Every structure is written in structure tokens, then in C-alpha cells.
Structure 1
Amino acid sequence: MPSIARPADLFDRTTAWRDLADLASTDRPGLRLAVVTGRRRHGKSYLLRRLARATDGLYHQARELDRPLALREFAIDVAAHLDLDPEALRFDDWETAFRVALGLRRGRTPRRTAGAPLLVIDELPYLLVHSPEIPSVLQLLYDEAQDTPDLPATTLVLCGSALSVMRDLLTGARPLRGRAQVELTLHPFDYRTSRAYWDIADPQVAFHVDAILGGTPGYRQLVTAPPPDTVDGLEEWLARQVLNPAGALFNEKSFLLREDPRNLDRSVYHSVLQAVADGNHSPAAIGTAVGRDYNTLKHPLGVLESTGFLTRVDDVLTRRRPLYYVADPIVRFAQVIIDPHRATLEERDPHGAWHAATDAYSSQVVGPHLEHLARVWTARYSGSRWGTSLGVVGPAVVNDPRERRQHEVDVVGLEQGRRPYDETARVVVLGEVKSTNRRRTATDLRRLEHLRDVLSTSGRRAGDANLALFSRSGFDESLMDEAAHRDDVHLVTLDDLYLDHDG
């Protein structure tokens, strides 16, 4: 089969399209399997509908129906694809349904020409609720197809938003384990791609929109007006969109939490999410905030991580208990801004709620998000300014024996090819991030110099580490003058995070 042309209306997703198109266009006989997952509104359905359209494939989106109605809906889609009377096609079981859809007869007889060359089952977890046998049925068809050498090339794509359910399909002794040629997770856009997608000119506006909504492409269709041209219009835009009880984004967090069946004990999960959103990132701090010890927290932390609501970040320098962050900006924004001020917002006083939440927004939304962007920029976009290629980038805690305290370092970059915790790895960059309205001064630089000395004294290869100061409000003249005469000091503004330049 010739290569499949990329749709003109598909924004980004270049790698995802290539992976799926390569699988669907191969001429090798047999049945091939792809498993696609990703959070709600990340564009999975949009992508797969276009793949089906480009290959004359069959796309079926499952719904929350009971088994007979689900089979009926599938039969209607199969009939439409095969140009049959929908009333003439009925399925009593999923094996028959999939055989007809794919044109697979029982036994070793060749495939019928009427079957679809590509079948997409979107939102598969809805079907698994009442039909848990589906993976075993698909295993049967897959293995049967491998024993049919003259079977034309056929592709099956399974897709779903419930991350834990989709990941479980291919683990342990599950029927489909080891059978998927493509396992694809569709992530949100990163902050630069998101800015281009929203077509935002001002980096300050782009930063706030990303801090609030993240890189979920589907949210652009849920707002009734584009983001403002300047930050002066941000409050009014939020009042009419995200903080509006009638808006689609106001209760998005609740919909997201309900989409994964593992999130059953919602009171516990909401408490953990709130604790993390409040700035408690270590298991000990989270446990103190919710009144639980670490052992009883392991399960809810694991569930929230596997379902994509928490991101686990390990210390780059030292093996210690990990740090947890709210993965989805809209969930964090809801925890910090919407939920505490829900009554005021439901009284249609968004400006009053916003003013009351200003400090929390600055410390619990803007601050952590700028730290995240600084790490992403350092790892992906900072170019050759460090004098060598970077490998692992992340946060770290530095023990200071002389001062008998620990220092948190927002950005630590190790030399390329070294693993985290490697005590012999060269520390290439140490960075500190501040999102306050105050300009950064030489005092901030002295702190980083001190941390570099502490690491060097402890035996780390950090003596020539670059020092990076990240600021949303700029730097005073004294610091800029000093940095201009030093090759090891880098001052990074918000504009720099969004600019394409090297060094």
C-alpha cells in the first residue's frame, strides 16, 4: 500500500500520524494491532477518524450503552461501511461482530473482500464494562490471522481515554500482551506548540493560558472567545470562560476524574490532589496534609499516577522518595481557584473570586508552572549554551552540612549519557526559578554559587556548572552587568522560553 498522506487539517501530531500511517500502510499479510491512549480531549478521536478516512477504514466510537445496544450500534456502523441495509445486520456476540467488520471467516479460509482494511474501536473501555471477553476474542482473531499467510494486510486500532484500563490491556498475562506493534500515548501539546495552536502572540498571555489550560487541544473548541491580546484582558477572559459556571470548562475536573474506573474512592483522591495542589509534593508532606501515613498513601498515589492525574518526578541527584505534581493544569486550576471559591463563582461574581484567589494563583499555579517550563526549556530548547549536551534534567534537593539544612534546586541538568543518581556524572547546569513580580538580584546568584560549592565539596563534579536564573519579571542592572562578564551565568526571561535561538 502506498504511503498515507497526512491530512491538511491535522495540527502537529507528526510523529503519531507517521507511526499509525506506517502501520496501516504496510503490505505484510496478517492482522496488525495498535493501542492508542491519552487523556480526554487530547485529539485521539480526531486523529483516528482521519486515519480511517484516509485508508477507507471503519471507525466506531463506543458509547456508555448496555451490551445489546452496543452491539446494535456497532452493527449499524459496519453496515454503513459495507453499504448494507442496517436493519439486515445483527450481532449477538463480539466475535461475530469483529469477524464481519474485518472480513475474517472462521478457520483458515482467506479473508473476504468486504472487510475493512482498518478498524478503529474508539473508547474501548466503555465496551469492556459489559463485555470483558473482548480482549480474548481479539487474541483469537489475531493469532488465527498469523496462521493465514494469504490474509490481506489488516489493521486494528484500539483506543481509550481511561489510561489505566488501556495500559492494562498489554500487561502481565493479559490476552493481548506482546501482540501490539504500536503502543501510542497521545500527550498534550508542550507549551510552545500550544502557543502556536492557540495563535497567541504575547508570551505572557501564552504562559498564563498554558498554566491554566495546559496543552489539551480540545479546550480551544470549548471557549467562546480566543484568549486576549495582552495580560490586561486575562481577568475578563477567565470570567467569561473558565470561571463561568455555564462554561464547558468550569466542571472539567469532575468529568476527568470520573472517566477512569480506578478512581472510585473519590474523597481520598480529591484530598490527595488538593494536598499536592497546595504545594505538598513529597509523600511525607502529602501524608501530613491528608492525615495518612506513607504506607496507606502508596495505593492512592499509584492510582492517581497511573490514571494520569499526578506526575511523579524523581530527584536527579539522590535516590529518595519522589515528588508528585498535579499533571493536568486544568485540574490544578480547579483545585486552587475554582473549588475554594465555587460559591462565589456560582453567585456569578467571577471578579470577586479572582481577586480573592490572586495570591493562591501566583504561588500554587504560576510558580509551579514556571518551574515546569524552565525544566522543559532546559531539556529541549536551550541549545548549545551550556557548552555540552544535556541528558537528564529535573529538580533536586542538596544537603548542606555546614548550614544543617536542605536546599531545593528547581533545575539540575546532568551531562548526556549519564543516569540519575550517578555520583560521577558531571553537573552541567544548576537553575533557580522565581515567578514573583520582583526583579532578581545578585543575591539570587550568590545562592546558586553557594549550592555549586556545596555540591563540589561533597564530591560531585559541579565545579564548572553553569548557573541559570529564570525570572518572569526580569533582572536588576547589577545582576545583568555581572552576567554580561561571566560565561557561566545565564539569565533567562519568559520571552527567552518562547524564543528560538541558540546560545
Structure 2
Amino acid sequence: MTRDLLVKPVDVVDRDREWGLLTDFLTDPDPAMRLGIVSGRRRHGKCYLLQALSEQVGGLYVTAVREEGRLPAIQRFGDAIAAHAGLRPGSLRLTDWRDVLSNALDVTARSTHPLLVIDELPYLLQHSPEIPGLLQQLYDERQRGAPSGAAPGPRLILCGSAMSVMHELLSGTKPLRGRAVVDLRLGAFDYRASRTFWKIADPLTALKVHAVLGGAPGYRPVAARPHPDGGFDTWLTGTLLDPGRAVYSRTETEHLLREDPRITQHTLYYDILTAIAQGATTPSKIGAALERPRNAVTHPIGVLESTGYIRKEEDVLRSKHPVITLADPVIRFNQLITLPQAAAVEQGFAEQVWQQAAPTFNSKILGPHFEDLARDFTRRYAHTLLPGGLPGPVGTTEVADRAARTKHEVDVIALAAGERPQSPHAKVALLGEAKATAARRGTGDLERLERIRALLGEQGYDTAATTLALYSLHGFYPDLVELADRRDDLLLVDLPALYGS
């Protein structure tokens, strides 16, 4: 089977780049063993992708089970190897992991594309930490002695949801460091692909669904009924605010936090997540919100960042001004909406809770999420509209206005391609303001951006070709639209444009 025959199945949505990378890995004709690492958050579709790949080539796909003991795991893996080899269950009496792994590699090596996938590896490492060391030995043994022209060697993919555990496999002095040719970190769908995947016709509904669930494809099977297009409020109270549903946000948040074995003090981590959701953006502010010293929250913040539950982004123009935000919409929804009213929700008052939570949703969830998507749009799609094409780093900043004794927060700033963040005389490609309020945007918003552009020019930045962009959830006043038609430096992005209409 050649690479061209490994066509991505129609049920695998998006993921063209990832499928191509895994296909190249699998069809490499080298007779030596090759190793790949695939990691990603829960519900991001890792298992679905790897199962589809394994099915196409007849590979051996085995998944670990949480809290399964060492001996039962060895026996179950042995039975899976026997079944793959056409033997009856129990015919392979394997007693240790070296025998299990060696036999698995030998059995799969008989295929045209010898693929072995071990999913949820971190569960195995809890009782069998020796596995990476054994894999190192088997890998090194299979680098030698393969004659030229021999069949491709075994292809091993290790997969897991505990991000910190998976990333450490290839770090420092770990046994597998320097041996993997693939380190694929599977992210969620972007907001446009997510809308397509959910088959949501209305872009505002698509935006709201993305604001509470993000682009994780694994949520659709458990939250697609009733369909969001039938009414977002009805859909939300019947999913994220229904304690009887698997996607109930409080339960889902607990599952997410349990993925990382280092998260043991759940109360502290919950409090940190709540503080960030409510607007604390630095370790000092988070510590103050919890009435704890800064150094008491530094380690758990690092853990949450390594797991992908929070992100730390540097100011594009100013050094040493990181901004901490929540990366997971479900956690943000839980901390701001569900958790404060959990008792009422679990007593059946979801509709009333949701009505009362509308101001919080609009100001602390929908508004910040719209700003995130404005930056995402600028990174992924604005190059077709900008005079300079593909922009460089995209993020946020603050610009001091000494004359007015104030600071201007900039929702979207993009440097020109090739520029580095925090460079003192960087070329600024775009300055933007994103508003999810009910009001349309007008010339007053444009004047504010023009003032910021002038200030940056006075501070030494190159703003000669800077595009001014306004992102609006509810459109623009006609005079601003007419002005944009006459100006090459003004970009208006409403909700249809955000979604590519």
C-alpha cells in the first residue's frame, strides 16, 4: 500500500495536515523501527484519528484502562496481540512488559505497514514506569541489523491525554528523548471547522456554542441533541446545565482536571481557575484573589499551563507583561456560570440560573471569546485581506497615552511578517478593536484606533502601513461602511466575514 492509497476517511473531519503527517510516518520505507508521539486534550479526537489510521492498514491498536492493575493490563495486551496474530485468547502467556512489547512489535512487523498504537499510555505508566526504558531498548535493538531493501520496520505510536506526562517522554534525560520522528500535539478544531462539524447554520449560534465548548470534536456526540440551531438557550440548559447529561460542565471539568496525575489539590486548582475566569491575569493578581502569596500559586499555575488548561501570552510590544487566560471554554463556563449556582442547577432550576447569568455570559464569556476569535481570524485568514499578506506575531498590548494620562488596551495587534515581539521599532501590520456588544461600531471606534496608531508612531514603531481593523458582532453604521470603501487602511470584520461568508 502506497501513501496515495491511504486516503483520509470521509468521517475524519478536517485534520488534513495531521493525516498527512501520520501517513508519511507510516509509509516511510526505512527498515528500522520508527517512533511517534501523539498527545492532545480529552475529546480532541486523538483516538478517532488513530483508530481510523489503524483500520486502514490493519494495525494493532491497544488502549490502556484507567486504574487497571499491572498483571491484568499485561494479560489484556497479550490477548490483543494473540487476536491480531490469529491465535486464540490466552495462547500467549506473557509475564512482563518487555515480552508484551517485543511480541507486539514482531507481530505487527509482518504487515505491509506495520503499525502498533498504544493509546492512553499515562495509565500504564502509573503502575509500570519501566515501559519507556524498555521501549528505548527495543528501539535501539531494531536500529541495527536491518538489511538494505528489507521491509519497513515497525511503526510505534504512543498516545495520551495527560499532556504533561506525554510531553515529558521526550524531555531531558528521559529514555525516549531523541528517538521520536513525530511529536504531534492534536488541538481542537478552529472556529470555522467547528461550525462545519456541528452543521450549525446560524453564525451567531455557532459563535456561542464555540464560546462554551470550544472546538473539541468529542462534544458533538454527547451534546448534539437538541441541535443548537433549534435555540441556543434551550440547547445549553439541556446540556451544560443538565446534571443528568455527560457534558454537564461541572462533571466535565472534574474529568478534565483528573487527566493530569499532578493535580491532586482540586480545591486550590478550582480556586485558581475561578480567579483567572474572573479576570486575574498575573500570578500576583491570582494570589491576591485567593489571599495567598504569589509563590503559593506559581507551581499550580505552571501545572495548569503545561496541561493546556490555561495559557500565558506575552504582550506583543512590552516585555515581561504576560497575560494569563483560560484556554478551555468548558472550564470557563463552569467556573463563572455553573459552579456559583450549582445547588440551584442540580435542583432543576437550570432555566432560571441561565437567565440570571446572562450579564456574566455576555461580559466575561462571549465578549472575551469574540476577542479571541478576532485574533484567530487575524492569524489564519486576514492575510487574504491585508496589503502585506501573512502577518507576523498576533496578540494584545497596552499603549500609554501620557497626554491623556491613560492606557489604551488593544484587542488585536499584528506585527509584520519577520518582526519579533517586543522589538523597539517593530513594523505594525494591524491594530484592531473587537466588540461583542449589541451596539454597532462607528467612527468613534475608528478615531480611537487612529489615536493609538499615532501614539505608536510617536514611540518609534513603524506604522506607515498599519491597517486599522474593527471587529463587530452586530455590524457597523453606514457612514463607517462608506468610509471603509474609500480607505485602503481600514478593515471591517462582522460576524459573517469572521466565518468566511
SS of alignment partner, residue 71 of structure 2:
helix
Amino acid at match of 1:257: L
Residues 440/115 of structure 1: CA separation in 2 closer, same or farther (3 Å cut): closer
Determine the C-alpha separation between the residues in 1 that align with 2:112 and 2:483: 70
Amino acid at match of 1:176: L
- Tell me by how many angstroms 1:473 deviates: 1.7
SS of alignment partner, residue 383 of structure 1:
helix
Q: 2:353 aligns to what?
A: 353
The answer to whether the 8 A contact 1:244-1:350 is kept is: yes
- Tell me by how many angstroms 1:116 deviates: 8.6
Q: Percent identity at matched positions?
A: 45
The answer to whether the 8 A contact 1:169-1:175 is kept is: yes
Q: 2:43 aligns to what?
A: 41
Amino acid at match of 1:131: S
Structure 1 portions without partners, runs of 5+: 105-110
1:130 matched to 2:133: no
List structure 1 segments (4+ residues) > 4 angstroms apart after TM superposition.
Answer: 111-116
Determine the C-alpha separation between the residues in 2 that align with 1:293 and 1:481: 53
Scaled by the length of structure 2, the TM-score of the pair is: 0.95
The answer to whether the 8 A contact 1:94-1:134 is kept is: yes
The answer to whether the 8 A contact 1:428-1:466 is kept is: yes
Q: 2:411 aligns to what?
A: 410
SS of alignment partner, residue 88 of structure 1:
coil
- Tell me by how many angstroms 1:459 deviates: 1.1
Q: How many residues align?
A: 492
Where do residues 8-47 of structure 1 align in structure 2 (5 Å cutoff)? 8-47=10-49
Question: Which of these residues, 98, 101, 109, is aligned with residue 101 of structure 2?
Answer: 98
SS of alignment partner, residue 87 of structure 1:
coil
The answer to whether the 8 A contact 2:57-2:113 is kept is: no
- Tell me by how many angstroms 1:185 deviates: 0.7
The answer to whether the 8 A contact 2:209-2:228 is kept is: no
Q: 2:254 aligns to what?
A: 254
Determine the C-alpha separation between the residues in 2 that align with 1:224 and 1:16: 25
The answer to whether the 8 A contact 1:314-1:323 is kept is: yes
Where do residues 20-169 of structure 1 align in structure 2 (5 Å cutoff)? 20-64=22-66, 65-103=68-106, 113=110, 117-150=114-147, 152=151, 153-169=153-169
SS of alignment partner, residue 481 of structure 2:
helix
The answer to whether the 8 A contact 1:24-1:154 is kept is: no
Where do residues 97-496 of structure 1 align in structure 2 (5 Å cutoff)? 97-103=100-106, 113=110, 117-150=114-147, 152=151, 153-223=153-223, 225-229=225-229, 233-250=231-248, 251-389=251-389, 390-496=391-497
Amino acid at match of 1:240: G
Determine the C-alpha separation between the residues in 2 that align with 1:270 and 1:464: 45
- When structure 1 is superposed on structure 2, of 479-488 and 26-35 the one drifting more is 479-488
Determine the C-alpha separation between the residues in 2 that align with 1:23 and 1:463: 45
Amino acid at match of 1:118: L
The answer to whether the 8 A contact 1:310-1:324 is kept is: yes
Amino acid at match of 1:66: G
Q: 1:108 aligns to what?
A: none
- Tell me by how many angstroms 1:120 deviates: 0.5
CA shift digits 1:112-150 (9 cap, x unpaired): 848992110000000000000000000000000011213
The answer to whether the 8 A contact 2:59-2:114 is kept is: yes
CA shift digits 1:201-257 (9 cap, x unpaired): 111111011111110001011125153336xx1111111122111011111111001
SS of alignment partner, residue 103 of structure 1:
helix
The answer to whether the 8 A contact 1:103-1:115 is kept is: no
Determine the C-alpha separation between the residues in 1 that align with 2:14 and 2:186: 11
Amino acid at match of 1:343: A
Determine the C-alpha separation between the residues in 2 that align with 1:266 and 1:209: 27
Residues 31/49 of structure 1: CA separation in 2 closer, same or farther (3 Å cut): same
SS of alignment partner, residue 229 of structure 1:
helix
Determine the C-alpha separation between the residues in 1 that align with 2:312 and 2:111: 47
Amino acid at match of 1:20: L
Scaled by the length of structure 1, the TM-score of the pair is: 0.94
Determine the C-alpha separation between the residues in 1 that align with 2:184 and 2:69: 28
- Tell me by how many angstroms 1:399 deviates: 1.8
Residues 434/224 of structure 1: CA separation in 2 closer, same or farther (3 Å cut): closer
- When structure 1 is superposed on structure 2, of 380-389 and 405-414 the one drifting more is 380-389
Determine the C-alpha separation between the residues in 1 that align with 2:264 and 2:113: 37
The answer to whether the 8 A contact 2:27-2:113 is kept is: no
Determine the C-alpha separation between the residues in 2 that align with 1:124 and 1:94: 13
The answer to whether the 8 A contact 2:435-2:473 is kept is: yes
- Tell me by how many angstroms 1:338 deviates: 1.1
- Tell me by how many angstroms 1:266 deviates: 1.7
- When structure 1 is superposed on structure 2, of 379-388 and 392-401 the one drifting more is 379-388
The answer to whether the 8 A contact 2:437-2:474 is kept is: yes
Determine the C-alpha separation between the residues in 2 that align with 1:290 and 1:438: 35
- When structure 1 is superposed on structure 2, of 314-323 and 284-293 the one drifting more is 284-293
Determine the C-alpha separation between the residues in 2 that align with 1:296 and 1:160: 29
Amino acid at match of 2:392: G
SS of alignment partner, residue 181 of structure 1:
strand
Amino acid at match of 2:247: L
- When structure 1 is superposed on structure 2, of 113-122 and 429-438 the one drifting more is 113-122
Determine the C-alpha separation between the residues in 1 that align with 2:433 and 2:280: 19
The answer to whether the 8 A contact 1:102-1:116 is kept is: no
Amino acid at match of 2:388: T
Amino acid at match of 2:283: P
Determine the C-alpha separation between the residues in 2 that align with 1:493 and 1:399: 28
Residues 133/378 of structure 1: CA separation in 2 closer, same or farther (3 Å cut): same
Amino acid at match of 1:428: A
Amino acid at match of 1:96: D
Determine the C-alpha separation between the residues in 1 that align with 2:134 and 2:112: 17
SS of alignment partner, residue 208 of structure 2:
helix
Amino acid at match of 1:490: L
- When structure 1 is superposed on structure 2, of 200-209 and 461-470 the one drifting more is 461-470
Residues 114/57 of structure 1: CA separation in 2 closer, same or farther (3 Å cut): closer
Determine the C-alpha separation between the residues in 1 that align with 2:16 and 2:112: 28
CA shift digits 1:376-423 (9 cap, x unpaired): 111111234321121111111112222233221010011101111122
